């Protein structure tokens, strides 16, 4: 319960706390002691990382994720263009073979704005909730959201410009996302209009791919330019209420990425690639309170940390499955 509560607080914007050493399990205390005595050279670390690359394991999950993301969005386009009614609508609201599905945040906005619950909307919301509860909450962000993919490419440009020292990255408080979440909720209630959907890049891009683009794409372009030249992944990290909504689902999801401290050499590469590095606070040397630590609810399950880890210290896990096997 304590771990769940801490994960929830971090999701809302709280900085991860350094765990009290008194709470460390006996197993991990032994591991930490061995690591303090262990001497790993830069050459050996480089050899381990190179072996990981040579095996082709450094892009496995990225390629799988990109494939799923592109195909899931193309399915909307193909269904519309061929009029086969397989997957109708857009990511914000759709029907799969006639069965209603509704994005959780969009559904909440509609319910609050119109103060009325339609049965089809309720069915779609429950369906999507169960789907993303099973698949990890914010998994939606990295495995389905089209803006995430565009932002990923923008991030590469941003990091290149930072490396060249042509620009500086600017960070905001992560609690900004929680404040904006409340603001959009209040706007929906007060105005009776789904204000967020006007600026929601997920819906804008999804509808543009299916039905054709419009002036709203200029807003998406502005966000991407802002992320390239000013703040790395700003929308996803500091603003998007969709991420927070699915993160709340992720607090109770059985699918997570788990950190195994024993084999970790603490290279720090996982922290460099992570969209939400605060969920990886446990990988810092001496910080893991247990020999195995599940990453927090804000984790998008993008698996970039899994790809980059040369010792497989980070890997997918389904809660309770090992006990059943």
User: What percent of the chain has pLDDT above 90?
Assistant: 58
Indicate if the pLDDT at residue 325 is higher than 70.
no
50 vs 57: CA distance, rounded Å: 11
Encode pLDDT of 226-270 as tens digits: 999 999 999 999 999 999 999 999 889 999 999 999 888 888 899
Q: What is the structure's pLDDT at 60? A: 93
User: What percent of the chain has pLDDT above 70?
Assistant: 98
What average pLDDT does the segment 138-155 reach?
96
Q: What is the structure's pLDDT at 182? A: 95
pTM for this predicted structure: 0.90
Indicate if the pLDDT at residue 320 is higher than 90.
no
Q: What is the structure's pLDDT at 225? A: 98
What average pLDDT does the segment 45-63 reach?
82
Q: What is the structure's pLDDT at 291? A: 92
Average pLDDT score over the chain: 89
Tell me how far the alpha carbon of residue 16 is from its chain's centroid.
17
């Amino acid at each position: 319960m304590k771990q769940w509560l801490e994960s929830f607080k971090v999701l809302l914007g709280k900085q991860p706390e350094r765990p009290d050493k008194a709470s460390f399990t006996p197993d991990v205390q032994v591991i930490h002691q061995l690591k303090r005595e262990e001497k790993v050279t830069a050459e050996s670390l480089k050899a381990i990382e190179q072996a990981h690359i040579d095996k082709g394991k450094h892009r496995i999950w990225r390629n799988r994720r990109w494939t799923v993301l592109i195909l899931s969005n193309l399915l909307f386009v193909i269904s519309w263009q061929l009029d086969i009614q397989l997957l109708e609508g857009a990511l914000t609201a759709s029907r799969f073979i006639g069965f209603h599905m509704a994005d959780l945040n969009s559904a909440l906005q509609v319910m609050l704005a119109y103060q009325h619950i339609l049965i089809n909307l309720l069915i779609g919301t429950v369906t999507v909730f169960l789907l993303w509860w099973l698949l990890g909450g914010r998994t939606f962000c990295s495995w389905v959201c089209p803006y995430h993919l565009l932002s990923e490419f923008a991030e590469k440009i941003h990091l290149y410009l930072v490396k060249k020292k042509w620009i500086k990255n600017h960070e905001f408080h992560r609690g900004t996302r929680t404040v904006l979440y409340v603001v959009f909720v209040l706007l929906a209630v007060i105005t009776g209009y789904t204000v967020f959907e006007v600026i929601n890049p997920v819906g804008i891009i999804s509808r543009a791919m299916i039905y054709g683009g419009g002036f709203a794409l200029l807003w998406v372009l502005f966000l991407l330019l802002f992320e390239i030249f000013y703040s790395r992944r700003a929308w996803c990290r500091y603003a998007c209420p969709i991420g927070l909504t699915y993160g709340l689902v992720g607090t109770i999801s059985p699918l997570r990425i788990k950190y195994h401290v024993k084999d970790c050499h603490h290279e720090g590469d996982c922290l460099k690639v992570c969209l939400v590095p605060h969920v990886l606070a446990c990988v810092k040397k001496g910080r893991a309170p247990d020999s195995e630590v599940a990453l927090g609810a804000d984790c998008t399950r993008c698996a970039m940390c899994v790809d980059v880890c040369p010792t497989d210290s980070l890997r997918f896990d389904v809660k309770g499955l090992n006990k059943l096997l």
